[in-house]
Structure 1
Amino acid sequence: MGNPPVHKARKRFGQNFLNDDHVIDKIVKSISPKPGQHLIEIGPGQGAITEPLLEALEGNLDVIELDRDLIPILKAKLFRHEGLQIHEADALKFDFASLASDGRPLRMVGNLPYNISTPLMFHLLEYSDIVEDMHFMLQKEVVQRLCAAPGDSAYGRLGIMMQYRCEARYLFTVPPGSFSPPPKVDSAIVRLTPRKELPYTASNFELFAQVVKAAFAQRRKTLRNNLKGMIDDAGLEALGINPGIRAEMLGIEAFVNIANAIDKAA
């Protein structure tokens, strides 16, 4: 097949290609792919973890790649693997349910571009009922937000919405030197496991999402101010919540209770 063409990382796609064999091995071990499982890799880049994943799966792997110039590189590098299915598509708009037609739960992996990581997380939440787990490399700060607990400085809307549906676990940090070109920040690997049963259930999920968004609209303001027009002091106090505290001090259950109370009163 000859040597694949050389590809220069593109800033507009937020590309930083992983090239550290030790980190690649650590990521694949964390994912622990098994033959017969259905894995989807988002943003395979030049195939750094794609090849070891294919070898471990002994079968099919779907990859989603937006940069059309990377596709011939992947095909040239991985031509021996007949089970590789390449989808030239934008992961932010991709219908992942279309890949779950055989009933097997999806396992999702990827080195996600920093510039789309938050909206992509919200998009992937829509598919949590058909996903077994997700292993992603993200900017370290984003992983800290995904895994944060009440009272942490990183705790906010992203972590609450993700942890409502998934268990989030910070696995390990990846330094800039593991990439080409090196990013200006540390990266980290997170494992997100959709919950089989929700510990707290919002009666109206869209309303719950609105409450969380409003509560953190201005982080330095109190619940009384941020939720004005949605619920009053008496309503919060009836739930055992002090209207004078900030949203970052509340756990997920409290946000669910607020949303359910608003929904019930509507």
Structure 2
Amino acid sequence: MRNLASPRVIKEILSEYEFRFSKSLGQNFLVDEGALAGILSGADISEDDCVLEIGPGFGTLTQRLCGAAKKVVCVEIDKTVIPILEENLKDFDNFEIINDDVMKIGIKSLAEEKFGTENVKVAANLPYYITTPIIMMLLESKVKFKSITVMVQKEVAKRLCASEGTKDFGAISLAVQYFCNANYLFDVPNTSFMPPPKVTSTVVRLDLLDKPRVSVKKEEMFFKTVKASFAQRRKTLLNALSNAGFSGFSKAEISEILKNIGIDEKRRGETLSIDEFARLADALTK
């Protein structure tokens, strides 16, 4: 079995299949034994786990996952790497490759079909151009993932793990807090990839909660309120919410609502805790 973490092996595959990396698909393949071991360790993959991998590329991480997990299902959008994956992983009988767009495939039905009631963890080196949409899709899917361990751009990792009052705190930070506990694991230099990206990467693990961190009347209103509060970061909370055009509320009415729940209308969104956002969303829910 070829070691897919070897730059020499990757170069051989590139030549053999006349493969060209796609910038539009964010193809930067990990070739770092230490980082691969760190992902498996951080994700705590065991023989009792089933794993969903998104964007396996040539199968560098997949090779390690198959050696550690009960079952691995990979979703890969690029049809040109499918024969490469099949050849590279031919020694394993516990994996399946699905050639499709993970954003369109219907992740809940996929999980039910492929994993049933098994423990499922997500492990992936996500393409940077679509990292946040993929993470939000996974969190909002209602699939009972045990955890989501992904490599993302360092700046994104900071936002995923940020707390209120910090410059990195934003709508995605609140979404992560709502659904899970975030753990910043370790950084990976750009020299660990082929071809090397222009940024440093970071591995994070999101441990999903049994239920959302806060209870709200309408989840849709909670996220609408969060999004509006961060749409114009330099605006006060009152102006941000007013400019968002919450149906049925005038600026004066929003001011009164903020006053009634004890939130200063001059505060900005990044200063509010998730509990305050929950109170605000409930107050705006008719």
Confirm or deny a common fold (TM above 0.5).
yes
Is the contact made by 2:71 and 2:94 (CA closer than 8 Å) also made in structure 1? yes
Matched, 1:125 2:125: no
Letter in 2 for 1:223: L
Distance 1:221 1:207 in 2: 20
Q: How far apart are residue 164 of structure 1 and its match?
A: 0.5
The aligned residue for residue 104 of structure 1 is 118
1:1-266 pair list within 5 angstroms: 4=13, 5-6=16-17, 7-57=19-69, 59-97=70-108, 98-101=110-113, 102-228=116-242, 229-230=245-246, 232-263=254-285, 266=286
Letter in 2 for 1:190: V
Distance 2:33 2:205 in 1: 20
Give structure 1 stretches of 5+ with no counterpart. Answer: none
Distance 1:211 1:12 in 2: 33
Is the contact made by 2:43 and 2:147 (CA closer than 8 Å) also made in structure 1? no
Distance 1:53 1:10 in 2: 24
SS in 2 for 1:91: coil
Distance 1:161 1:199 in 2: 10
SS in 1 for 2:203: strand
Distance 2:254 2:111 in 1: 45
Letter in 2 for 1:179: F
Number of aligned residue pairs: give it: 263
TM-score (norm 1): 0.94
Q: Which has the higher mean CA deviation after the structures are superposed, 204-213 or 92-101?
A: 92-101
Sequence identity (%): 36
Distance 1:105 1:55 in 2: 17
Letter in 2 for 1:33: I
Letter in 1 for 2:266: G
Distance 1:8 1:53 in 2: 25
Q: For residues 37-90 of structure 1, give each alpha carbon's deviation from its aligned partner in whole angstroms, at most 9, with x where no partner exists.
A: 111111111111111111112x32100000111111111111011111000011
Distance 1:199 1:185 in 2: 32
Q: How far apart are residue 192 of structure 1 and its match?
A: 0.6
TM-score (norm 2): 0.88
Is the contact made by 1:42 and 1:111 (CA closer than 8 Å) also made in structure 2? yes
Is the contact made by 1:128 and 1:165 (CA closer than 8 Å) also made in structure 2? no
Q: For residues 72-117 of structure 1, give each alpha carbon's deviation from its aligned partner in whole angstroms, at most 9, with x where no partner exists.
A: 1111111011111000011111222222342113211110111111
Is the contact made by 1:129 and 1:194 (CA closer than 8 Å) also made in structure 2? no
Q: For residues 116-156 of structure 1, give each alpha carbon's deviation from its aligned partner in whole angstroms, at most 9, with x where no partner exists.
A: 11111221112244211100000111111111001111100
SS in 1 for 2:231: coil
Q: How far apart are residue 212 of structure 1 and its match?
A: 0.7
Q: For residues 221-245 of structure 1, give each alpha carbon's deviation from its aligned partner in whole angstroms, at most 9, with x where no partner exists.
A: 0001011154522211211111001
Is the contact made by 1:100 and 1:106 (CA closer than 8 Å) also made in structure 2? no
Give structure 2 stretches of 5+ with no counterpart. Answer: 3-11, 247-252
Distance 1:202 1:74 in 2: 44
Letter in 1 for 2:257: G
Is the contact made by 2:111 and 2:143 (CA closer than 8 Å) also made in structure 1? no
